Chain A
């Protein structure tokens, strides 16, 4: 039957792992000898509740999400308005901001890692040209996370621009004509018409950015390995480390279950927004 390959695939590679994680989270397991398991009940989850590093990773994710949104959303909104106005030069702008979204995050992390290098990196060269002394960026406890956030903004701005553009194109042109007839200026129209009508779209962009923050991995693995002093430790990298560096499989399963719960809640929120996006 037509459906069989899809059902086998989804069962084997989507549902089976969920079941394995749920079951495995109740055991103490070593990655290298997974057949030797000890039932420990909810001990793993109790350990997670008091796990400082895990808490740090959630905190970093929160900081990452909020600071990224603070820069990326206003920037994306301005860019979307500019693109929607179809002025000259729009095509170039579109290509420039969308190109990072299709580039592999691992490659972006490698290149940005070199840009952040204290001695031969491009960013310190630019800073030097305007008289700022070299910064250490990725090896500094205070600058490492902002550096990774900057890379995230570079990569994902195109994504939020696309989403906002979708929202803008959904606003009927007559609304603007009516506003102009009533004597509204351009900035008034944006403030009192566009922004309120885009509320759902903006909320959707917020949820999506949060979801992406929970998936951050390559940047951390390639650029900082979670350091310095866990200042860039993010959740997925922490799970990866527990499983493949410390070989503590049961604990990694339990962490995965917690992450799943968080992500399902976010995704359900996203699904609701996606479905109701076009209603006014």
Chain B
């Protein structure tokens, strides 16, 4: 008998806990649901159902793809989407290539000044881009790279954090494998390519994922350095047609934002495990 009130209150507490957690899920998911839901409504329906609150405020009662047609045909957002793809692809491939080679040198080769060089790499990771964006803009001017695709990805290819992350992974590869291969006549590059890289797959996937997210989601740097609208990324394009002085084209804004968000959400859901790992290691999103 004595145990009964305890289980009751425990059940009640659990129910309360679940209620709070459900509320958190609703609050966190609402902006996404509203965005995707409204993207499928006509502009008229968006405003007609905005107030008072009903289920139609969130869920489209007469779903349509008109907004998507409008942003793709009318505003050429497909072009901006493609720019994101081009820049992200180049940035991911080059970052992984450059960082893995450098990380291998720092993890395995011995030469004078190596630790000092690695110290410089670590130091450069301490200064975030936000503090150097203006002089970096000058550098891009001197190199005559402003308003080119190169300006959007080249500065981030030698990523100190990527070097750091991969060096950590390479250090965990047992040396015995490499030494055995060297004894059998494999070159340094063969060892790197055939043994070290395949054994560090999780770290490589993590860096690929993080680089993709950084690249795809960038806003401030493209805003500064890219003055050619046809090469501009989708975030800046959306922000410019949702600016206060523009006509309120909510349907277009929702559809374009949905388009910009679908790739990152799907990649994230697919590779959630690696994302968690990367954030835990680097402390960065």
Binding site for B on A (CB under 8 A): 1-3, 5-10, 12-18, 20-21, 24, 34, 75, 78-79, 82, 87, 89, 92-115, 119-122, 124-126, 128-129, 154, 156-157, 159, 162-163, 165-166, 204, 208, 211, 214-215, 217-218, 221-222, 236, 239-240, 243-244, 249, 252-253, 256, 259-260, 263-264, 267-268, 270-271, 274
- Nearest CB in chain A to that of B13: its residue: A186
* Cα–Cα, bound, A252→B280 (Å): 34
- Nearest CB in chain A to that of B132: its residue: A17
CB <8 Å contact, B29 and A208:
no
Q: Give the interface residue-count category, chain B.
A: 35 or more
* Cα–Cα, bound, A214→B130 (Å): 9
Which residues of B lie under 8 Å from residue A111 when comparing CB positions?
A: 31, 34-35, 254, 257
Which residues of A lie under 8 Å from residue B20 when comparing CB positions?
A: 78
Write out, one digit per residue, whether chain B residues 14-57 have a CB within 8 A of any chain A CB (1) or not (0): 00011011101101111110110000000000110011110001
Task: Decide: A128 near B51, CB < 8 A? Known: A104-B261, A107-B235, A263-B126.
Answer: yes
- B residues 212-270 touching A (CB-CB < 8 Å): 213, 216-220, 223-224, 235-236, 238-239, 242-243, 250, 253-254, 257, 260-261, 264-265, 267-269
Q: Is B93 an interface residue when CB atoms closer than 8 A count as contact?
A: no
Task: Decide: A10 near B25, CB < 8 A? Known: A82-B17, A120-B51, A124-B51.
Answer: no
Binding site for A on B (CB under 8 A): 17-18, 20-22, 24-25, 27-32, 34-35, 46-47, 50-53, 57-58, 97-99, 101-102, 104-105, 109, 117, 120-122, 124-128, 130-139, 141, 154-158, 160, 163, 213, 216-220, 223-224, 235-236, 238-239, 242-243, 250, 253-254, 257, 260-261, 264-265, 267-269, 272, 275-276, 279-280, 283, 285
Contact residues of B: prevailing secondary structure: helix
Quick one: which of B101, B218, B239 contacts A222, CB cutoff 8 A?
Answer: B239
CB <8 Å contact, A96 and B29:
yes
Which residues of A lie under 8 Å from residue B50 when comparing CB positions?
A: 119-122, 125
* Cα–Cα, bound, A204→B17 (Å): 27
Quick one: which of A9, A20, A163 contacts B283, CB cutoff 8 A?
Answer: A163
CB <8 Å contact, B285 and A101:
yes
Which residues of A lie under 8 Å from residue B122 when comparing CB positions?
A: 271
Quick one: which of A204, A222, A268 contacts B126, CB cutoff 8 A?
Answer: A268
Quick one: which of A13, A106, A217 contacts B154, CB cutoff 8 A?
Answer: A13
CB <8 Å contact, A271 and B126:
yes
CB <8 Å contact, B268 and A125:
no
- Nearest CB in chain B to that of A274: its residue: B283
